């Protein structure tokens, strides 16, 4: 038995399945030392955990898949290739009703011009468009080409499948870029759409707590914006 069961501190670990006879012999050997033997079977433990989760959260909690992935985008990667990476992450979010895009430079066209910039912006969120009824874009930079960039975006969005209600909200509360689905889950994008491929960047899913924090901030900004618009009338 010494080859099968060996100590690791206060725990005895088995490197092979132990028969019931083997367990009985091991327990008998421990009896003179007043040591309590507890057997933990990983399969049983997993079954108990699943049963507890189903009881507390329902069956859907174990059949809903969450994709855990991060994409590191190298410098000089073609912008359209980076857009494809972002689109795949947006698709994985599975937006059902609303989508929020947070990008300070959302309407600050790159050197490629307003039309190409707008098309890339739409392509990045295209997987969500058929399913959502509301699209909010939070931006801060408003340069000389702002009106042209917005018009180009509206044209590109109109040509895409889906016609959500669009709201543009200017805010200076964000430095980073996010896409939030249904105010519940989201992704982080390491660079603005207009700078894709020009620097090393990272795109990754947000933790649920971080997504909730961003969503809460967006709701507060929306409330403040609505109040300002109402007061200006």
User: Tens digit of pLDDT for each residue in 120-134?
Assistant: 999 999 999 999 999
What's the first-to-final CA gap in the chain, in angstroms? 85
User: Alpha-carbon torsion 84, 90, 91, 92, what sign?
Assistant: positive
State the average pLDDT over residues 223-228: 83
d(CA 149, CA 81): 22
Mean model confidence pLDDT for the chain: 80
Q: What is the tens place of the pLDDT at every residue in 166-221? A: 999 999 999 889 999 999 999 998 878 777 666 666 788 898 889 999 999 999 99
Give the domain 69-232 fold.
Endonuclease; Chain A (3.30.870)
Q: Where in the chain do CATH 3.30.870.30 domains reside? A: 69-232
Q: What is the tens place of the pLDDT at every residue in 70-119? A: 555 566 677 788 888 889 999 999 999 999 999 999 999 877 899 999 99
Per-residue confidence (pLDDT) for residue 43, from 0 to 100 = 58
CB-count exposure of residue 168 (10 Å: 0-12, 13-18, 19+): middle
- Is 67 within 8 Å of 143 (Cβ atoms)? no
């Amino acid at each position: 038995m010494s080859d099968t069961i060996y100590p690791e501190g206060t725990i005895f670990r088995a490197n092979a399945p132990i028969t019931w006879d083997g367990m009985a012999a091991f327990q008998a050997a421990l009896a003179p030392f007043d040591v309590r033997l507890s057997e933990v079977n990983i399969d049983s433990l997993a079954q108990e955990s699943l049963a507890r989760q189903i009881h507390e959260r329902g069956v859907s909690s174990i059949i809903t898949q969450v994709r855990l992935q991060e994409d590191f985008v190298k410098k000089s990667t073609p912008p359209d290739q980076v857009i494809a990476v972002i689109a795949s992450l947006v698709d994985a979010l599975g937006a059902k009703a609303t989508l929020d895009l947070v990008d300070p430079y959302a309407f600050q066209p790159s050197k490629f011009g307003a039309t190409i910039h707008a098309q890339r912006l739409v392509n990045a969120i295209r997987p969500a468009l058929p399913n959502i009824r509301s699209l909010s874009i939070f931006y801060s930079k408003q340069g000389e080409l702002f009106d042209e960039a917005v018009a180009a975006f509206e044209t590109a969005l109109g040509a895409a499948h889906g016609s959500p209600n669009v709201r543009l909200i200017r805010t200076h509360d964000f430095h980073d870029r996010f896409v939030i689905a249904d105010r519940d889950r989201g992704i982080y994008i390491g660079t603005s759409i207009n700078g894709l491929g020009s620097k090393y960047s990272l795109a990754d899913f947000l933790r649920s707590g971080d997504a909730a924090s961003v969503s809460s901030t967006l709701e507060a900004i929306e409330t403040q914006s609505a109040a300002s618009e109402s007061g200006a009338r």
